[in-house]
Amino acid sequence: MSETGNIGRWLERHASFTPDKTAIDFADRNISYAALDRWASGLATTLATEHGIGRGDRVAWLGLNRPETIALLFACARLGAILVPLNWRLAEAELAFIVEDCAPGVIACDETFGDTARAIAGARPVVSGDGLSDVPSDTPARQWPGTISDPLLVVYTSGTTGRPKGTVLDQNALLFNALNSLDMHAMTAHDRVLVVLPLFHVGGLNIQLTPALYCGATVHLHERFDPAATLAAIETARPDLLVLVPATMDALRRQPRWADADLSSLRMLTTGSSVVPLELIQCFEDRGVSVIQVYGSTETCPIAAYQRPGEGRTLPLSTGRVGLHSEVRLVDRDGRPVDGAGRDGEIQVRGPHVMRDYWNRPEETAAVLKDGWFSTGDIGRFDAAGNLYFQDRLKRMIISGGENIYAAEIERVLHTIDGIQEACVVGRADEHWGEVPVAAIVPRAGMAPSEYAIRQVLSRELARFKHPKAYHFVAELPRNAMGKVIADEVRSMIESVE
């Protein structure tokens, strides 16, 4: 693809080759490649002429998984604009911060979230319903200004400083991520891809959905994950490919109809985002579904390393080998490459699919991106065959049901509550969610707040999935010689009383 091209050409080409083929199957809507191509062009024209959106401008989307999300993505690609998919699970205060940070020219929304969109928009226009209609564009064919090197996505992920930061991914990143995905899944235009994970995460958007549209496959899109609906769709839509995180895998296998459901269409199930319990892999493999794992992050679009079919059973502790268009290395604490099998080091990733920077965060960008190598903050090791094994996290990130939660973000809110002197949040193992946050709190003398009062504040400031599942009031927190709280000792202290 030339510098003057953009990934909107994916739709244009498939509309030429197979105009009537279904691109997106959603609820009672069946959208062909020709219709999706016209829709993206119409939206691009509307965004440009009615809202002044051009290259580099941001368009925010607040809503569940809908075809509008996809049409907006390709409309932005054609304009050289940037889509900012907002996490609808966040509290209004969190969404307002993101909108202020990225300053979108317009906020598009699912009508269900209209009130929230208007509350966080300020003076910005909000469009929904007819404003996002998939009517054919009456604009003649034109040369769109967007290029393959233009930023296309700003995906917000929680920040270690307690504030979310926007990961900037350009169109080229989505292209090479798609090529990695095609290699990982042996994906072709004949495949049917079931998408149930949220599109505000790169896992839901980019592991299979955008690659499917790159190669001309069909996407069966669900508004959100529902285990019963997902199981039914596997039987009726007969998908070849599906992505689930461990928590949703667990929810699916706990369905009453699990043992008798027809899963024979699934060529493979892709999973990741946290350590996958061996029991879960075995459960799906026993039903004839080949499980593969993928390693990556928001900053890598996300595909960096992956398994191939069969390796979920034979190498269940591995996250696979380095992707076709990726480089992965391990470094020691001084940033020197770690050579040899069986040696631990921090995982670094380089490739055309890696982010360009964090939105308006030059210092945080410089801290993790050097000479094109992205420092993941994860510890891993390679075996002699080149399989990558995730070992632990350098960052204090808690992964709960596939959602990334940073302890510092919760602590920031706890520290604003009257009666709390300080707090430390750590992750606790949980059978269902993988991990959940728990808090150790040092109250001010005679002013200890009730758990009810704490929850009231958290409900206003943070999404419910980030709320600590337990509160432990302690006299003091353990510290090292530099006065820094020792999180591991806090975790041990909590475990001893639970």
Tell me the domain boundaries of the chain.
Answer: 9-388, 398-497
Residue 160: pLDDT over 80? no
pLDDT, position 26: 98
Residue 481 binned pLDDT confidence (cut-offs 50, 70, 90): very low
pLDDT, position 411: 87
The mean pLDDT of 241-265, rounded to a whole number, is 95
Report the range of poorest mean pLDDT among 63-77, 92-106, 155-169. 155-169
What's the pTM? 0.86
Say yes or no: do domains 9-388 and 398-497 share a fold.
no
pLDDT, position 185: 97
pLDDT, position 457: 94
The mean pLDDT of 176-186, rounded to a whole number, is 98
Residue 24 binned pLDDT confidence (cut-offs 50, 70, 90): very high
Q: What digits encode the pLDDT tens for the residues 287-309?
A: 999 999 999 999 999 999 999 98
Residue 158: pLDDT over 70? no
Residue 1 binned pLDDT confidence (cut-offs 50, 70, 90): very low
Residue 177: pLDDT over 80? yes
Q: What digits encode the pLDDT tens for the residues 407-461?
A: 878 988 998 899 998 899 999 999 889 999 999 999 988 788 999 999 999 999 9
Polymer length in residues for the chain: 498
Residue 167: pLDDT over 70? yes
pLDDT, position 249: 92
The CATH class of the 9-388 domain is alpha beta
Q: What digits encode the pLDDT tens for the residues 459-474?
A: 999 999 999 999 999 9
What is the sign, positive or negative, of the torsion defined by CA atoms of 429, 432, 433, 437? negative
Residue 241: pLDDT over 70? yes
Looking at per-residue confidence, does 42 or 483 come out higher?
42
Looking at per-residue confidence, does 204 or 4 come out higher?
204
pLDDT, position 186: 96
- Average pLDDT of every residue of the chain: 92
| Fold adopted by 398-497 | GMP Synthetase; Chain A, domain 3 (3.30.300)
Amino acid, res. 428: R
Percent of the chain at pLDDT exceeding 90: 77
The mean pLDDT of 239-249, rounded to a whole number, is 93
Looking at per-residue confidence, does 274 or 180 come out higher?
180
pLDDT, position 39: 96
pLDDT, position 317: 85
